[in-house]
Amino acid sequence: MTEQKRRYFGTDGIRGRVGDGAITPEFVLKLGWAIGRVLAKEKHSKVLIGKDTRISGYMFESALQAGLSAAGVDVYLLGPMPTPAIAYLTRTFHAQAGIVISASHNPYHDNGIKFFSGHGTKLPDEIELEIESMMDQPLVTVDSAQLGKAHRVDDASGRYIEFCKSTVSSKVDFSGLKLVIDCANGATYHVAPNVFRELGAEVVVMGAEPNGLNINQKCGSTEPKLLQAAVLEQQADLGVALDGDGDRLIMVDHQGELVDGDELLFIIARAQQRAGNDSPVVVGTLMSNLGLEHALQKYDMELHRAKVGDRYVMEMLKATGGIVGGESSGHIICLDKTTTGDGIVAALQVIAEMEETGNSLHELRSAVSKYPQRLINVRVNKMIDLAGSDEITTAVRSVEARLGDQGRVLLRPSGTEPVIRVMVEGRDATLTNQLASELASVIETIQNH
């Protein structure tokens, strides 16, 4: 598998703590040059660079710009922009690539670099491997006459705002709706409020005062408690919580209750079905709640489960011919609208469905009865072959037999830390918790031997 050969790229670019490993100015300078050499082989090549609001973004933007220029590539600087906006603008500018400087929902002291092809999609594995190979070559600057130039794109946000608005019917009118929008002090702070205002909604804004250090801090889709309180206090119709780079969405209904990615995925899939989308396929992940699967079945739709990660959701959408996919965390991909997960676009589809049906968000989400889910992270000091252990296999089968078709079991090693994730889902919360604890104990016993 090509993923095993990667030294720097993870499932979503390169990410880590600023100053450590690959997240240094020296590495990013060389990375910019390597990208330029691999992706921009024709004359007059151009690459777009956007970033979120982390203080380290300035440093890495300059480093990438210098590396790309040394490779002879023109650079178009977008400034702070949501990740999906960079995917969109890379296509409309006919650029060879788009680069995002962001660590998504992570705290400010992390940062990362991720890439889009000229089609606005994640880079293929073979291109990532070619870039890694180029990192081993000495950095050679092109002749001065061929050095890349830098341009600042002043109307980037306006272009993206118009695109977002175009993803809902011009007949849909948001006037009369009161929304609270939490921009996570991130890349959507100057975009999201304007999108919803220009469609007619009354907008109360939170998390739109980035200072370089407060991105995702007690705000946004990963920490929506303040948004829940604000929706109730403002007597708003709903709340929209985005993450630091704008590709993730969680919503809050008028009762202050969270509406997660599974429920949002169902609402959008139903909207697509009502609009005449013939594909019965909806793509979730191994972590998608069983309640989503059962809710879709009532409307003759099928849930296909991909590995965790929007990259794998996208791969399965393409393989199955599906249009809508996403994760419980709120990455929602609407392939008929855009090429990547987009929090603003997903929110617009949900609100448009509210307006089309006359139902509140609370009513729309009530079609999904989520099953109680218990997740236990078991710390391990050695690798355990989950599939090859008779003891674990027997324990899993026993749990599955007790759950029947009213639950499911998932064991998987974490890709980022030394833990095995034990997830049990079932209709009965007490039984679910008990069975998850039993399975976790089996793994702890094995790893202690």
Q: Which residues does the annotation mark as catalytic?
A: 104
Q: Which of 292, 285, 265 is nearest to 349 (CA)?
A: 265
Q: Which of 28, 16, 22 is nearest to 66 (CA)?
A: 28
Q: Are 341 and 247 in contact (CB under 8 A)?
A: yes
Within 10 A of 83 (CB to CB), how many other CB atoms are there?
Answer: 31
Q: Are 229 and 235 in contact (CB under 8 A)?
A: no
> Token pair for residue 97?
């690539």
Bridge partner residues of 412 (DSSP): 421
Q: How far apart are CA 151 and CA 395, in angstroms?
A: 60
Q: Which of 298, 294, 195, 178 is nearest to 238 (CA)?
A: 178
| Segment holding 376, helix H or strand E | strand 373-379
> Token pair for residue 382?
């050695």
C-alpha distance from residue 212 to each of 8, 167, 218, 221 (Å): 25, 31, 14, 18
DSSP 156-208: HHHHHHHHHHHTS-TT---TT-EEEEE-TTTTTTTTHHHHHHHTT-EEEEES-
Q: Which of 200, 237, 35 is nearest to 127 (CA)?
A: 35
Q: Are 249 and 330 in contact (CB under 8 A)?
A: yes
Angle CA(10)–CA(285)–CA(261) in degrees, nearest 5? 100
